Chain A
Amino acid sequence: MKYALVLFFAIGPLLAQDVKLPADIDKLAAKASEVVDVSLDGPMLRLAGRFLSNNDPDEAKVKSIVGGLKGIYVKSFEFEKEGEYSPSELDEMRHQLRGPGWSRMVGVVSKKAGDNTEIFMKLDNEHIGGLVILCAEPKQLTVVNIVGNISLDDLSALGGHFGIPDIDTGKEHKKATKE
């Protein structure tokens, strides 16, 4: 049993790194009026980092953070009207994110606004080893996957920079669900 547990925790982080987008999600591009598709792996992040200025406080901070990341992947589809995608499009990802290593930190549904936002983190001791944001809005579907070592303090320090909000690392993460 002891060995089985060790094996479980050894494999867990490895399994938790590979979060795959649904294979057919790109079909949504045909119906979308606006598509954002960003895929920056390690080498591209390092290349981008070379063009971030040390003289600009925003860019300098981003540069220091990007150094610890292995990849940033974003898919966002914006539609002309509601109902152009099924909420179940992201079920496959949610299933992966319920695997070992990942924790669902925030899940909030607003019936009034019609959106559902979930934030998953892969926790690796004191650091976030990965961050996934799934955001389903009436006319927009967004998936963000940040892979690598990013600390809550660094994320908090980016508050107000490039749109990343303050996250108070002192407060308990709240799981808020209103169905």
Chain B
Amino acid sequence: MAAATNAVMGHEALPDFASLVRAHQAMVFSIALHYVHDRSAAEELAQDVFLQLHQSLADMQSAEHAARWLRKVAVHRSIDHARRSRFRPQVGLEDAPEPVTPAAPGDPMLSERLRRLVASLPEKPRAVMVLRYQEDLDPEEIAATLGMPVRTVKSHLQRSLVMLREKAGRAFTPAAGRPDLSREMGEVE
């Protein structure tokens, strides 16, 4: 088994590698999964991220630093994977079933549709959406993770939500009439 590594910096001890894996595997795997929308690819990506962490463990300054590092590397590796796979699309919107009846939040079909729609976004807006809605990061944190201006993050969020409202908004459509989705959905903060 992997040797335990403890780096003591200041007042905080870095957990050993196995503890870091257990603590953050869901986060790393989910970032990859929500980005590439392919479970087996996401597991492979997540494993690669942790192997990279293992080789860089000496550079980690704290548990929090390691978590931030993992999140950043997971996103960037997912983006790289998606670029390499661009001629072999993993998901097509034609596979996403169109809801025929209005869906309520918590509906698995709606969740899957939203995940597929986000997976179809261009690489940077997709990463912004995953970090916002999986990790609950605010725009400043997203900007720091992705290395882009805060204004660009907000712009990506705004435009992605506009498109999602249009495409998935039908799932929130009542039986009759054309809804005013912008009033129903609210605006991005």
* A–B proximity contact (CB within 8 A): yes
How far in angstroms is the closest Cβ of chain A from B121?
14
| Tally of chain B residues near chain A (CB < 8 A) | 8
Chain A residues closer than 8 Å to B94, beta-carbon distance: 53, 55-57
Chain B residues closer than 8 Å to A160, beta-carbon distance: 170
How far in angstroms is the closest Cβ of chain B from A5?
44
Chain A residues closer than 8 Å to B155, beta-carbon distance: 34
| Pair B92/A56 contact, Cβ less than 8 Å | yes
Q: Is A163 part of the binding interface, using a Cβ–Cβ cutoff of 8 Å?
A: yes
Given A55-B92, A56-B92, answer yes or no on A165-B158 (Cβ-Cβ < 8 Å): no
A46 to B94, CA, bound (A): 22
Q: Is B135 part of the binding interface, using a Cβ–Cβ cutoff of 8 Å?
A: no
Q: Is B64 part of the binding interface, using a Cβ–Cβ cutoff of 8 Å?
A: no
| Tally of chain A residues near chain B (CB < 8 A) | 10
Contact with B along A82-125 (1 / 0, CB 8 A): 00000000000000000000000000000000000000000000
Given A56-B93, A162-B166, A163-B166, answer yes or no on A34-B158 (Cβ-Cβ < 8 Å): yes
Given A34-B155, A34-B158, A165-B178, answer yes or no on A53-B92 (Cβ-Cβ < 8 Å): yes
How far in angstroms is the closest Cβ of chain A from B51?
35
A164 to B71, CA, bound (A): 38
Chain B residues closer than 8 Å to A56, beta-carbon distance: 92-94
How far in angstroms is the closest Cβ of chain A from B49?
30
> Which residues B77-110 have CB closer than 8 A to chain A?
92-94
Chain B residues closer than 8 Å to A34, beta-carbon distance: 155, 158
Contact with B along A134-173 (1 / 0, CB 8 A): 0000000000000000000000000010110100000000
Contact with A along B154-177 (1 / 0, CB 8 A): 010010000000100010000000
A34 to B93, CA, bound (A): 29
How far in angstroms is the closest Cβ of chain A from B95?
9
Chain B residues closer than 8 Å to A58, beta-carbon distance: 93
What residue in chain B is nearest A163 (Cβ atoms)? Answer: B166
What residue in chain A is nearest B173 (Cβ atoms)? Answer: A160
A53 to B155, CA, bound (A): 25
What residue in chain A is nearest B159 (Cβ atoms)? Answer: A36
Chain B residues closer than 8 Å to A165, beta-carbon distance: 178
Chain B residues closer than 8 Å to A53, beta-carbon distance: 92-94
What residue in chain A is nearest B178 (Cβ atoms)? Answer: A165
What residue in chain A is nearest B120 (Cβ atoms)? Answer: A56
What residues make up the interface of A, taking CB atoms closer than 8 Å to B?
A: 34, 53, 55-58, 160, 162-163, 165
- 7 pairs of A and B residues whose beta carbons are closest in the complex: A55-B94, A163-B166, A56-B93, A56-B94, A55-B92, A162-B166, A34-B155
